[in-house]
Structure formats: structure tokens, C-alpha cells
Amino acid sequence: MERRKLLTAAGLGLGAAALAGCKDEAASAAGTAGTAGAAQAEQRFRWKMVTSWPENFPGLGTTAQRFADTVERMSNGRLTIQVFAAGALVPALEVFDAVSNGTAELGHSAAYYWKGKSATAPFFTAVPFGLNAQEMNAWLYEGGGLELWQRAYEPLGVLPLPCGNTGVQMAGWFNKEINSLDDLQGLKIRMPGFGGEVLSRAGATTVNLPGSEIFTSLQTGVIDATDWVSPYNDLAFGLYQAAKYYYYPGWQEPCAVLELTINQQKLAELPSDLQDIVKQAARSTNQAMLDEYTKRNADALDTLVNEHGVQLRRLPDSVLDRLRDISMDVLEETAAANPLNREVWDSMQAFREKVNAWHAISEKAMYDLRSQ
């Protein structure tokens, strides 16, 4: 009997010791996990962002810096981003390559510069006679456009996000009047994207120049005309000093999406909360830039016309009608080039048709009412 009690007591003692050991191991494991989690939460990252814009250039360059500042603030300093102007680390038109190959973690530019990298890319900046900024944001975030964009860049190791929008642009600055299609013949004009292809087919000679070369090229006659952005940026560039006529409407860019490009591998290395911060900061910056341009364009147009005597001209209907026809040809041919292009263009057209019906009785109806 006494022997049985002793064995039972010994068994209980061993069990208690085992339980105590398990608790100690669990506590140790929890402590290790907690320490690792805390260490990850405190880990700091320093990234580089290359851009296609001159240093501190209003709107474009300052939007890139706004994004960087927003990320640093939202992350409480755990992710800081150094912004490089065009040419400081890589040339303006090599931003995509720099992000793809890991020279920089981030880029800020416009997708239509990368037609040679991805035949689908130009759809995600602007489409002639296409979606405006409000509609483009809706298509990207609610209509499946962003998923298509990310599929286009995925093989290149890059994740794109909208990170700014200029709204409707101007048709551009010209040193000769455009009264008919004949006036486009041989016209040397800086215009990227689909708009450049359309004008080439209309008889113009198009070139793709970085922003830093536009003023001098226009002033010295290397080009006869140029698009750039809209009154806000055009005033800052002083283009009114190099060209006589300022034409509208901006048929080639009813909006212009600026893109944030992210190296996919570098993004995956961030903790999940920092990944979310990068994405939310891009979306916040996207809307903030559109707000800024709506206000600043109105101010700048007033200055250009009333202080600098700029001559505003509307492109003739005959020219616009022909450019619309050519645009549809270019877009259909581009869509036919590969299945993804077709999917993107079909998606965009379907969205545009549906939103047109709504905007005809909402946005357009209100504009018409206000102008009476």
C-alpha cells in the first residue's frame, strides 16, 4: 500500500514537472515569437524612388514627394523613401527599367512611355476620346482595370498602381495655326502614347521628348508644337514664351494617369502592414493630385490668358472628327495585337458605354444647366 502511494506520488511529481516544462517551453516560444514580431515591427526600410520629372516640378515632381512623405508619416518612419528627379539616378525614360532590375524600389512616371516594354502599357495612361479622370479611377478600382494593368506588368517583376491624375489635358502649344487637316502635314510635334501614333497617321511627325527638353526644342524650332500637360504645368514651364497658340480640347488625353511602379520582390520583403501603407498612400496621393490640378489649372489658365495674352484656339471639328476616326483604328489594331490588349480595350469600352449613359443625365446635364 505504502509502495503504491509512493509510486503514485512520484508519477504525479513527474507529470507536474512535465507540465511545468511544457509551460516553460510554450512561454519561451511565445516570447521568441513576440520578440520576432516586435523586431519586425521596428525594422526600418530605406527605399529609392526614381521619377521622370524635373526636381520639385509643380504637380508632377511634388506628387512623387507627397507620396514619399505620406508613406513615412503613415509608417511612423519605418519606411522612408528618397525621391530622385529625372537624371539624378537614371534618365527620365529609364524609370521602368530601374524598378524592374532593382536599381530602385519605386518609380513615378507614366505608363505610355513604356510601349516598348509592354504593348498594353499605353492604355493605362490615356486613351484618345476615352475615359476622363473620374471614370478612369472608377474603371481601375471598381471595373477590373487595375487587375488587368497588374497582369500586364507581372512578367516584368513590377507592380503598378495609380498615383496621380492631371484630369483633362490641353491639345498643346503650336507655332502655326491649325485650320484644317492640311496644317498637320509635316508638323513636328512632341506627343507620346496613342496620341502620337494618331497624329503620325494624320501626317504629322511625332517625337518623344522628356519634359526637360520641351521648352528649348520648341523655342529653337526643333519641334513646331508640343503637348505637355495643362495650364498649371505649362505655365510653370513658360511654354507661352515659346509658342503662339494654345489649343484645346485635349482629345489625346481626357485624363493622364501617373503610375507608381514597385519592384515586386522588394514589396514582398516588407511586412504586410507596410505593404498596405504603400498601397493606401498611392490611392490617397492619386486623389490629392487630381484635387490640386482642378484648382491650379483654373488659376493658371486665368494667368496665361489675362496676364500673358495667350491665344486660346479650339481645334476645328473637321480635324477632331478625323482624329477620332484614326484613334479608333489605332486602338482596334493595338487591341488585336495580343489577347491581353483585347481584354483591356473591350473592358474599357464596355465601361465607357455604361458610364456614358449615366453621365449624360448627371455630369453632362449639370454642365449644360450651369452654362445656361
| C-alpha to C-alpha distance for 257 and 164, rounded to whole angstroms | 6
The answer to whether the CB of 251 falls within 8 A of the CB of 321 is: no
For residue 56, the model assigns a pLDDT of: 87
Taking 50 as the pLDDT cut, the residues of the chain under it are: 1-23, 26-27, 29-30, 33, 36
352: Cβ contacts below 8 Å, ≥ 6 apart? 130, 131, 135
Is the bond preceding 271 in cis, omega lying within 30 degrees of 0? Answer: no
d(CA 190, CA 7): 95
Rounded Cα distance, 259 and 111, in Å: 6
Residue 267: name the closest of 157, 152, 163, 164 by CA: 157
Q: In what order do the strands lie in the sheet with 225-226?
A: 205-207, 188-190, 225-226, 172-174, 245-248, 311-314
44-162+256-294 is classed in which CATH architecture? 3-Layer(aba) Sandwich (3.40)
Q: Which three cell numbers stand for residue 263?
A: 519592384
What was the pLDDT predicted at 42?
Answer: 79
Nearest CA to 70 out of 277, 272, 290 is that of 277
Residue 37: its pLDDT value, please?
52
Q: Which helix (H) or strand (E) holds 48?
A: strand 45-51
pLDDT of 372 reads: 85
What is the structure's pLDDT at 41? 61
d(CA 271, CA 357): 43
What's residue 12's pLDDT?
Answer: 40
Could you count the other beta carbons within 10 Å of the beta carbon of residue 275? 16
Per-residue model confidence (pLDDT) at position 39: 56
| pLDDT per residue as tens digits for the range 335-347 | 999 999 999 999 9
- Interatomic CA distance for residues 179 and 177, integer angstroms: 6
